[in-house]
Each structure stands twice: as structure tokens, then as C-alpha cells.
Chain A
């Protein structure tokens, strides 16, 4: 067998406003399980971690996501992402 040891793929997650408050941290680095391909997959996995994530993504349709500073939809592929952000609808201006 010449198979190289599998390195867990990690990604930095950042959270803002009430998403940050419910999860309890402003950023973290995670290693999602194999098969986590899209933002929606990532959210599904995060919700299994604890009740904070469950509360943050209680209404998944409301929470917005960004990959490397670009707004994305839930079906966006996360492969190669350096930083993924989750936050409520924006209220600036």
C-alpha cells in the first residue's frame, strides 16, 4: 500500500452578530467530514455539533454565507475555501 495518510481538510469559519453570539465564538478552524461539499452540507454538519449551532442555524434560510469575502448561496461548493463566514441579513447604511 502506497496510500498517503489522509490529512483532514480544515477551513476557517467566522461568525458575526447574532450568529456569533449563538455559536459562542467569533472564529474557529474546523475539519468537516468527508462528503462536505457545499455550504448547505457544512451547515447540516455544524448543526450536529451542539445546541449553539442548532440555535444559530435554526432558520437556515435566514443565515447568509460568504466564501473568501464573496456572498454565496447554500449550494456553493466550499472546496478550496480559505475562510467561510456566516451572518444574519445585513443592516448597515
Chain B
């Protein structure tokens, strides 16, 4: 069965349980669901919010390409990727990935693959807004994120 990934870029928060329920509703072939939610940290009390800028159009297209690649590599029953943009406060959710498969191995690996690739390929940029009222700098890309994505090559 062809698997159609669900990909959304949105300003609003998302409900992890509702997303899993929607993905698995009416299905009896799914044996494993792995979800990952990325949250905004306060960076030791320094951060008031993260501002997420994105490239509309390309963000959806690039995540779709990563999802297609995941579907080529693992036998998946479903995939969900939701990424927020705009201002996100510490404690709030930023990103969600759900991978479903008949067995756990594929679901675990596909979820991790999707996150690793999303971080280095999806056109999003974070800027810090600080508790002292100033706008901090743009968050710099981490070499460890590149390394995490490259291990799947």
C-alpha cells in the first residue's frame, strides 16, 4: 500500500496523542508507533522565546523529500512531520515526528532518520529572544547535527 506522509508547517501548537490517534484510526496493520517531540529549552533561564523563520513552499517540499526517502528505506505504514514557525516559548513544542510500521525497528529508525535529516535539510532558522528584552543572535548550526545526518548516508 502506498503510504502518504502527513506534513504540516504551522504556527499553532500540535497535540501528539491526537496525531497518533488520527494516524492509527481504523488500522489493524500497524504494530509499532514511534513519536518524537522537540521542545523549546529556556537555556538556563536566559531565553524568553525562540523565533522560527522558514522558507514557505520549500520547507514542505524538502520534508516531503526526506519522508519519501524514509519510505524507500523502511517498510512504513505511516509518517507524520509537523514543524511550527513563529514565536515559541520555553516548554512549548516545536517539532513532531511520528513513524508507524508493522514492527518496532523500522519505526524507531525511520523516526530518527526523519529528525536527523529534517534538522540539516529543512529550511528553518532559529533566532533567540532573551529574557532581558533584547533579541539575541541567530542560532548557529551544529557540526554534531551534520554528523548525525551523515551517518545515514
Contact = CB atoms under 8 A, between A and B. Distances in A.
Interface of A: 14, 16-18, 66, 69-71, 85, 87-93
Most A CB contacts (10 A, CB to CB) among B53, B61, B127 go to B53
B123 A87 contact: yes
A66 B124 contact: no
Contacts of B58: 66, 69, 85
A93 B127 contact: no
A65 to B, nearest CB: 11
Contacts of B8: none
A86 B62 CA distance: 15
Given A17-B138, A92-B95, A93-B38, A87 B55 contact: yes
10 contacts: A16-B123, A17-B138, A66-B55, A69-B55, A69-B61, A85-B123, A88-B125, A90-B122, A91-B141, A92-B95
B103 interface: no
Nearest to A89: B141
Residue among B38, B83, B123, B124 having the largest count of chain A Cβ atoms under 10 Å:
B123
Interface stretch (B15-23, B25-33, B113-121): B113-121
B41 interface: no
Contacts of A69: 55, 57-58, 61-62
Interface in B49-107: 52-55, 57-58, 61-62, 83, 94-95
A69 B64 CA distance: 12
A92 B123 contact: yes
Contacts of A14: 55
B61 to A, nearest CB: 5
A30 B123 CA distance: 23
B141 A92 contact: no
Q: Give the 6 A-B residue pairs with the shortest CB-CB distance, closest first.
A: A92-B124, A89-B141, A93-B119, A17-B125, A69-B58, A91-B139
Given A91-B138, A92-B83, A17 B52 contact: no
A16 B119 contact: no
Contact of A91 (B57, B61, B140): B140
Given A66-B58, A69-B61, A69-B62, A90 B138 contact: no
Residue with the greatest number of chain B CB neighbours at <10 A, chosen from A16, A88, A90, A92: A92
